[in-house]
Amino acid sequence: MSRACGGNGGVIINVSSMAGLMPAPQQPVYTATKCGVIGFTRAMAETSKRENYGVRINTMCPAFVNTPILKTIDEEENMGKYFKDRDAIRKMMSNFGILEPAAVADGLMKIIEDETLNGAVMKITKTKGIHFEDYATGYLQEVQEVVMRKDPEEANEEVTESRKC
């Protein structure tokens, strides 16, 4: 897929979850893995852009989706010690609402069709529909620019100085 390997470029969409953007204390491992998907996606998107791979890499974070996995909160063997928290999870489901799979498909199509999206973190919720996580990219871009042109010690000093009030 990468132009660096003779490919034509393309789109990769990683699937995370809203749990990757906010703490889900009833599911700490799930939260950690979904947070990792977001970080990995953003890092690889920057690499693809910098190296001109021609591959856009994005992630989507749907809230609760009407799939069979939602029923597993009632299965103690699946939930383990967090089985006791199933009522709290049900309350979160009630507060967030439950998406139909078609809403996720709409998000996938938006990412595929919008060629400006790279490194985007799409959120899909019942209340707000499709929207995006807003990251402070200005600071990250500044850090990357400084690091790419300076030795590490000098870069660290310059970034630190630029952030003083």
Alpha-carbon distance of 30 to 121, in angstroms, equals 17
Q: What is the mean pLDDT of residues 81-107?
A: 91
Alpha-carbon distance of 7 to 160, in angstroms, equals 40
Q: What is the mean pLDDT of residues 12-16?
A: 98
Q: What is the mean pLDDT of residues 64-71?
A: 91
pLDDT tens-place string over residues 134-161:
876 555 566 566 555 545 555 455 545 5
Q: What is the value of pTM for the model shown?
A: 0.78
> In this structure, are residues 88 and 97 in contact, taking their beta carbons and an 8 Å threshold?
no
Active site residues: 30
Alpha-carbon distance of 130 to 111, in angstroms, equals 11
pLDDT at residue 20 tops 80: yes
**Residue 98, C-beta contacts closer than 8 angstroms, at least 6 positions apart:** 63, 64, 65, 66, 70, 126
